[in-house]
Amino acid sequence: MAAAVAGSVLRGLLRRQLSAQIQPLLSFRAMSSAPEQPHASHSYETLKVSRVREKVFHVELNRPDKRNAMNTVFWREMVVCFNKIAQDSECHAVVVSGAGKLFSAGIDLMEMGSAFVMVEGEDTARKAWNLRKKIREYQESFTVLERCPKPVIAAVHGGCIGGGVDLISACDIRYCTQDAWFQVKEVDVGLAADVGTLQRLPRIIGNQSLVNELAFTARKMMAPEAESSGLVSRVFQDKQAMLEGAFELAADIAGKSPVAVQGTKVNLIYSRDHSVSEGLRYMVSNQAAALYP
């Protein structure tokens, strides 16, 4: 028994010594400002994925000529991208931003407007069934952010409209620039926001009256109001400063124990949707599994 304990202690000392030797090398690599391309499997039409710090990935919405409008390919690629990131041991935190002049103009109505009108089906029941299936698929494109065990930080500049608000509502942390604005736009095009805003935004802001006002009127929420209401936690002067701040935060998170961080995210999301007592019971099971797998 004593020998086993001594062996365990020795292994722990060796691990700490090795970590101390390796850490300066990791810190040196983290200082590099040039983004690296991650594994070749991250190749997309509407997204650009790069490694910007040690264990930190940057996912850009990459249709700047279309104001990062969300087309059919985008909805599919979001699921593929974040399912891969969830399984990638080289990524411990993610920053999501938009290329070009704004974060996102929301759904690409020019390409996808007919998707809600020209629904396949021989009769009304089958059309309704297929439409429900389509909406669930769109919802999954942002729920995948929430289900990804790696913390996801949204970095918003310029407009964040419609589907853009759905997207950032599924992120764990939100930063923005002084010129950023947010708009639950769907009511202006004859729709209710159906892929997450109405479910997540009330829990983020904590002010049902304000959420109702935004959703009923489609008015713009500017950066100062977004910060004071709790939609974002920090406001930066410009996009470059915001991205640097987001990358630094992500690097800080990535430097922590991934088991601890990911376990924390899972429990925070579970507790959001359950009672305190249910959350505590869930924590017992998760903590036991993490410490004694």
Residues forming the active site: 107, 163, 166, 186, 194
- Residue 135: other Cβ atoms inside 10 A: 14
- Maximum C-alpha span of the chain: 75
> Are residues 97 and 88 in contact, defined by beta-carbon separation less than 8 angstroms?
no
What's the one-letter identity of residue 157? Answer: H
Distance between alpha carbon 53 and the CA centroid of its chain, in Å?
17
Among 231, 120, 255, residue whose Cα is nearest residue 181: 231
> Are residues 75 and 142 in contact, defined by beta-carbon separation less than 8 angstroms?
no
Determine the Cα–Cα distance for residues 293 and 287; give it in Å rounded to an integer: 10
Residue 254, H or E segment: helix 239-254
